[in-house]
Chains A and B, each alone.
Chain A
Amino acid sequence: MSAPMIVFDRVSKNYGDLAVLRDINLTVAAGEVISLIGPSGSGKSTLLRCVNHLERIERGSITVDGELIGYRRNGNHAYELPEKLIARQRARIGMVFQSFNLFGHMTALENVIEAPVHVLGIPRREAENLGAELLVRVGLADKLKSYPRMLSGGQQQRVAIARALAMKPKVILFDEPTSALDPELVGEVLDVMRSLAADGMTMMVVTHEMSFAREVCHRIAFMESGRIVECSTPTEVLDNPAFERTRTFLSKVQ
């Protein structure tokens, strides 16, 4: 675990007058699992959405696997890429949402193979084999033909993870993947994420599940008002926070 996979270099972003991200510096190594915690509105989702250029940043740069995301560099200028090329970059950056966002008109398997077939151009038969394999891996062998409406929240989120995996992503970004789930369904999703971590997937996880963060993540970054206040190992941040603000936040969520 050494090569840098995601590098945030002095990243700042505003919404109008509101500074949502301020001077973010962070390097996520290949195979590292890092969790983002912090109060509501601190910019965690925004930071994730900037990684695959769903949002533009105003200053600084974000690279994934050495590649500037959304822009082409020429000297000291970065020119925004045409949509097609940005889409190609996004294809290798997986994203899992709080509200699952499965495609409602497609079965679980169709959800998983949609992008491999229609973005990567993989033959349908081949994609179906891969998709079925992935669904088995997330424990949904018997749900291939089910529509999202017929699945529980935990099952839907596992399909969403399989859908992200089907693109063979370099990294996966999770934005509160278990926040919309009933407590007894949280575990099944975390189990899948745990096994991804064990396989060496690079992951950024916004979460309120402190026990998951402690057990699975290599580092935890605490954010507040657009800044990364501290970023260190789970034991450091959770048991021995260096900053008063981290301590107050943790006393509220734990």
Chain B
Amino acid sequence: MAKTTTADPTDVASEATEPMLTYVPASPWGTRIAAALLSVIVGGFLISIAGNANFGWAVVGEYLFDARILSGLYLTIWLTVVTMIIGVVLGTIFAIMAMSNNIVISTVANAYIWFFRGTPVLVQLIFWYNLGALFPELFIGVPFTPWGMSVPTNTLISPVTAAVLGLGLNEGAYMSEIIRSGLLSVDPGQRQAATSLGMTRGKALWRIVLPQAMPVIVPPTGNQTIGMLKTSSLVSVISLSDLLYSAQTIYSRNFQTIPLLIVACLWYLLATTLLSLLQARIERHFARSRQEIGAVPRRRIFR
């Protein structure tokens, strides 16, 4: 840069004799004190729990890897995974149906969502479980024609089928609203551009719209999955031994209620933690087109 000799009003600062400033950031004493106090309170709380014999930590250790608990855990995880897959598939189908221009199609989808969100999932489970009492025989084949065969309902609907149907259909209704809001969040211009490039509606949805809806869809879906982990404990009413029910069965014999509930909670917490990590990974994957990626600064402990 060439030095100018003309009187330039912006040059005044460099002419001045004052020394350069050293900047000192404001020190967040209030935040530090609050953080220190919180550490003491939380620490004290943890110690009082860990040192409390009434919590029966020895019993917790004894039952943590009990075969019944582990098989309950397996059923809980299996139910969560299967019902979420059903929920996502049904949710996608019904979300697309609900957005259809055809009034019959969109009405059917909205009625499904209305009904399954509007009734308690517990009732739905019991309903599916008792389907045999309502329809003793199920007809499999072409409706209103004699082609097909009748099957006794109870051979078709086992408790596991009832659980999967009940939880999955219910989840589908919630997922369809989540997926619909995701699809609506994508600018209509994206679909137009895809169409004008010669994509069919299906291809545009799959390649262009859905991937861009994912950042909106994934976080609430993570929420639903974690919710399902615990909602699935309702299947105890149709005599399935999930994680919580297994713990209950054990403490109804040995009366170690609190330790066994802690055992169940530890497993629920572990599963939730893993699911949260998985969700964070998926979110990172779909955020890669965003500039802000990796820009989140590391948090300090005492600042």
A and B form one complex: yes
Least Cβ distance of B212 to chain A in Å? 5
Which residues of chain B are near A83, meaning CB under 8 Å? Answer: 200-201
Q: How far is the CB of B186 from chain A (nearest CB, A)?
A: 9
- B193 contacts the other chain (Cβ, under 8 Å)? yes
| A147 contacts B193, C-beta separation under 8 Å | no
A149 touches B203 (CB 8 A): no
- Do B189 and A97 touch across chains, with their CB atoms under 8 A apart? yes
Dominant secondary structure of chain B at its interface with chain A: helix
Contacts of A148 in B (CB 8 A): 289
Nearest CB of B to A28, in Å = 18
Assess whether B254 is interfacial by the CB under 8 Å rule. no
B131 at the A interface (CB under 8 A): no
State whether B196 touches A84 (Cβ < 8 A): no
Contacts of A160 in B (CB 8 A): 193
Pick from B193, B195, B207, B212 the residue with the most CB of A within 10 Å.
B193
From 192 to 216 in chain B, residues with beta carbon under 8 angstroms from any chain A beta carbon are 192-201, 203, 207-208, 211-212
Q: Do the beta carbons of B198 and A119 come within 8 Å of each other?
A: yes
Which among B190, B207, B290 has the highest number of chain A CB atoms within 10 Å? B207
Interface residue from B189, B195, B211, B286 paired with A90 (Cβ < 8 Å): B195
Tell me the bound Cα distance from A175 to B80 in angstroms: 49
Determine if B201 and A115 form an interchain contact, defined as CB atoms under 8 angstroms apart: no
| A99-118 to B contact mask, C-beta < 8 Å, 1/0 | 10111111100000011001
Which residues does A use to contact B, with CB under 8 Å? 52, 54, 83-84, 87-95, 97, 99, 101-107, 114-115, 118-120, 147-150, 160, 163-164, 167
> Across the interface, do A87 and B198 meet the contact criterion of CB distance under 8 Å?
yes
Evaluate contact between B289 and A104: CB separation under 8 angstroms: yes
Given A83-B200, A99-B189, 10 more pairs with CB closer than 8 A: A52-B196, A83-B201, A103-B212, A104-B212, A114-B197, A115-B198, A115-B199, A119-B199, A120-B198, A149-B290
Residues of A within 8 A of B207 (CB): 114, 118
Closest 5 CB pairs of A and B: A91-B198, A101-B193, A115-B197, A95-B196, A101-B189
Q: Tell yes or no: B119 within 8 A of A by CB.
A: no
Contact B192 A101 (CB under 8 A): yes
Is there contact, CB below 8 Å, between B198 and A106?
no
A106 touches B192 (CB 8 A): no
Q: Inside 8 A of A97's CB, which chain B residues have their CB?
A: 189, 192-193
CA gap between A107 and B289 in the complex, in Å: 8
Whether B291 sits at the interface, judged by CB under 8 Å, is yes
Q: Complex formed: what's the CA distance from A106 to B286 in Å?
A: 11
Contact check, A90 vs B196: say whether CB atoms are below 8 A apart.
yes
Given that A83-B200, A119-B198 are contacting pairs, would A106 and B289 also be in contact in the complex, using a CB cutoff of 8 Å? yes
Most chain B CB atoms below 10 A, which of A84, A90, A120, A164 = A90
In this complex, the member of A99, A104, A163 whose beta carbon has the largest number of chain B beta carbons within 10 angstroms is A104
Q: Tell me the bound Cα distance from A163 to B195 in angstroms.
A: 13
Q: Taking the complex as formed, is B187 at the interface, i.e. its CB lies under 8 A from any CB of chain A?
A: yes
Let me know if B203 and A118 touch, CB within 8 A.
yes
Least CB distance, B165 to chain A, in whole angstroms: 34
* Contact A103-B198, Cβ < 8 Å, known A54-B192, A97-B189, A147-B289: no
Contact in complex: B198, A167 (CB < 8 Å): yes
Q: How far is the CA of A94 from the CA of B195 in the complex (A)?
A: 11
B193 touches A54 (CB 8 A): no
Name the residue in A95, A105, A115, A147 with the highest tally of chain B Cβ atoms < 10 Å from its Cβ. A105
| Chain B neighbourhood of A92, CB < 8 A | 198
Q: Answer whether A93 and B289 are a contact pair too, CB < 8 Å, given A101-B189, A101-B190, A105-B211.
A: no
Quick check: A104 and B196 within 8 Å, CB to CB? no
Complex Cα gap A148–B187 (Å):
14
Contact status A84-B200, CB under 8 Å: yes
Of the candidates B193, B196, B286, which one forms a contact with A103 in the assembled complex, judged by CB atoms under 8 Å apart? B193
Task: Supply 20 A–B pairs (Cβ within 8 Å), ascending by A.
Answer: A83-B201, A87-B198, A89-B198, A90-B196, A91-B198, A92-B198, A94-B196, A95-B196, A97-B189, A101-B190, A103-B190, A103-B212, A104-B190, A105-B211, A105-B286, A119-B199, A147-B291, A148-B289, A149-B289, A167-B198
**Cα separation A119 to B197 with both chains bound (whole Å):** 8
Q: How far is the CB of A186 from chain B (nearest CB, A)?
A: 20
Q: Which residues does chain A contribute within 8 Å of B212, judged by CB atoms?
A: 103-105
A114–B196 alpha-carbon span in the complex (Å): 13
A156 to chain B, nearest CB (A): 12
In the bound assembly, the distance between CA atoms of A65 and B200 in angstroms comes to 22
> A90 vs B199: C-alpha distance in the bound complex, in angstroms?
8
